[in-house]
Chains A and B, each alone.
Chain A
Amino acid sequence: MDAIFLQILNGLDKGGAYALIALGLTLVFGTLGVVNFAHGALFMLGAFCAVTLNRLLNISFERVSETEKDFLGNPRVEKVPYIEQWFGPDLAGFLLDWSVPISILLTIVVMAVIGVAMERGLIKHFYKRPHADQILVTFGLAIVLQEIVRHYFGANPIPQPAPDIVAGAANVGSWLGLGDNVIYPWWRLVYFLFSALVIFAVFAFLQFTTFGMVVRAGMQDRETVGLLGINIQRRFTVVFGLAAVVAGVAGAMYTPILPPDYHMGMDFLVLSFVVVVVGGMGSLGGAVLAGFVLGILQSFASMNEIKSILPGIDQIIVYLVAVIVLLTRPRGLMGRRGVAEE
């Protein structure tokens, strides 16, 4: 029972990341009709916004130590962050400790700019081109972005600690009357709640604002909305920026779970596409549902009891489910007739 509960928790935080990436992918596909293979790179760029803020906060001046030596036996050059000198050690320590949550502010701005620039500078030229062209150009863009990141940040993962207060593990078992072995990292619980909040915010934005209503109408029938005199194109540019921001903040908050490296976007991209297809192309609710369902199934498939019966099932479960869903429900779990069908 404990093990099953833990795997559900696992699936929820993993599913949270899948759902956030898939949500952005679906938004872009549903509105612009573009298959964006660079979306994983946006997740990675968001993660590196967190790394960048941490580096900015750590910009230091050098001070030659009078007592300590470096590895060559020369007087050691110590690095003291400027923020420590400007704000004192307490505030500097707080800013460094909370750099990942604070980085969300930077990520929102940076990713919105990147998203809009990407759409205006590149993607808009491919709206009327075949999907194969879109895949090629966005995949190429993803490689360019990740190589730029590798050039500046190196190939090794860069650890980003969670704030001290949520760095340990929570005894979830004691809350729920389960065993003492049901412990779960605080930050993963935070991540799950964060992803749920972002998903809720995106849905609320689309459901309860005029802007969202126009976008939803555009997703259903772009031409008719255009004929009503609404500049749907400008709204879709904003939607692309929104999708980039969602992917970016998902990446930034994921850094304490997975030390980011330049390749992390590609690792998530394929799975996220499967999530979109299983959920139903163009269905936002389907993307979220499929993200969590596949995350949970992936976690269960990794249990030793399951693997002893079906060796290697943890590697193929997501794709197996995709095949079964597409055979039984060709439009995905929540796909509707006429949407994303040409």
Chain B
Amino acid sequence: MKILYPNRRKILQLGAAAGAATLATPHFFSRGAFAQSMDYRNAPTGDTVTLGFNVPQTGAYADEGADELRAYQLAVEHLNGEGDGGMLNTFSSKALEGNGINGKKVAFVTGDTQTKSDAARASAKRMIENDDAVMITGGSSSGVAIAVQGLCQEAGVIFMAGLTHSNDTTGKDKRANGFRHFFNTEMTGAALAPVLKNAYGTDRKAYHLTADYTWGWSQEESIKKYTEGLGWETVSAVRTPLGAGDFSQYLTPVLNSGADVLVLNHYGKDMVNSLTQAVQFGLRDKQVNGKDFVIVVPLYSRLMAQGAGENVKGIFGSTNWHWSLQDEGSKAFVKSFGEKYGFPPSQAAHTCYSQALLYADACQRAGTFQPSEVGKALEGFEFDGLGNGPVLYRAADHQCFKDVLVVKGKENPSSEFDLLEVVEVTPRAQVEYDPELLGGELGPYNDGV
């Protein structure tokens, strides 16, 4: 009889094999069990469903992020049947009953994007992997939105974008698992150009200062396309570093350029600084080519207008939504938000609240949280009562189409919130475009299994 005596090599080999099997075992089992009982990632098993709110809580957009978070908390209250119901009362779809989503109470976790792509991806990953978030939403930057959208596609959860205005989010970087309610630069160009034509004519020379990242490039391209279509000449388009602070060295060349329009493709702190400094340089009081020199800020937000103070007076731009709208949905949201927090909501708050409701409604109609089924429920969905008139979630690119607001800095504001006036509601038909225009492929849905 042969007796096997263990030696060190054998023991090491056996140990390694046993270790590998031990490490692999949970995967085999959990993956098998997961596949049998769940068809998708992070399927809620208890009586709650967890949503992940990924907003900038620190950094340059922290105030906007705080407003987004307020809106999400309000949406969760309303979804769970608390508070006055807000826009659930005016939403055209009546699938939601105020008892959570698919009978499960809504819970949430939050992450801090810091308005940095890597930090945003890390916080989204943490919410998906550790907190079992079934959906990620929020953000105030296109760079962040595109990064997190890509992560959600890989992870197999739905991403409901927050404030992101670059064409690329639902253009060349679109993904099946990603959906955007906010408008984009193409729509801004289409809505703003006719108003600029009426106000300033067709014989103008424009000088662009553009934030040097995805949103800035997209904004510059769209405004150039539409203003050149009017007959305007683009004298120069200068890229400025994100967060430049002092823009004086970029503004002084404008004085001698022969331009009579300055287009500031800046957002947030950059917009506040560049606009303030442009006004200090006397550009608004200047006459060039026999015309008054004018400044245009294509994308406005009320929070930014507060930062720029009196400098926004008379300056045109566009916005996704404004609290002064008088439709029933907007009024319900402003009342609900205003009574809870003491001030009117921003456009960032509005789009985030709407995205939370739209996601919940799609889950309810689909009867599941499975991304592919929820996505199909959102695709081609037409709705009303969320503050922008009739809206379509287009299936081809997961972009919402709705009326776009052209606004102007108010000459005589009655309060610190009353800084912008809506000068035109551009109808949806005027801002629609061929989905092929912006390129990209949605690809297939990923359910995460």
Contacts and interface: CB of A to CB of B under 8 A. Distances in A.
B93 interface: no
Contacts of B286: 183
B248 A13 contact: yes
Interface residues of A, number: 50
Contacts of B30: none
Contact of A159 (B238, B309, B414): B309
B417 interface: yes
Contacts of A315: 241
Interface string B310-337: 1100000000000110000000001100
B63 A156 contact: yes
B269 A261 contact: yes
Contacts of B61: 155
Contacts of B310: 161
A76 B343 CA distance: 12
A169 B308 contact: no
B245 A264 contact: yes
Contact of B60 (A76, A155, A159): A155
A6 B255 contact: yes
B389 to A, nearest CB: 21
Interface stretch (A64-72, A131-139, A328-336): A64-72
B25 interface: no
Interface in A179-201: 179, 181-185, 187-188
Contacts of B334: 71-72
A307 B209 CA distance: 14
B433 interface: no
A72 B330 CA distance: 12
Contacts of B59: 155
A97 to B, nearest CB: 13
Contact of B272 (A2, A14, A159, A264): A159
A258 interface: yes
A303 B245 contact: no
Given A68-B414, A158-B307, A257 B277 contact: yes
Contact of B417 (A71, A154, A264): A71
B281 A156 contact: no
A9 B281 CA distance: 12
B256 interface: yes
B282 A10 contact: no
B229 interface: no
B61 to A, nearest CB: 7
Nearest to A271: B245
Nearest to B339: A72
Interface in A72-121: 72, 76
20 contacts: A2-B256, A6-B252, A6-B255, A10-B248, A71-B324, A71-B338, A155-B58, A155-B59, A156-B63, A156-B303, A157-B273, A158-B307, A159-B276, A168-B285, A181-B255, A182-B255, A183-B282, A267-B245, A302-B250, A314-B249
Interface of A: 2-3, 6-7, 9-11, 13-14, 68, 70-72, 76, 150, 154-159, 161-162, 167-169, 179, 181-185, 187-188, 256-259, 261, 263-264, 267, 298-299, 302-304, 307, 314-315
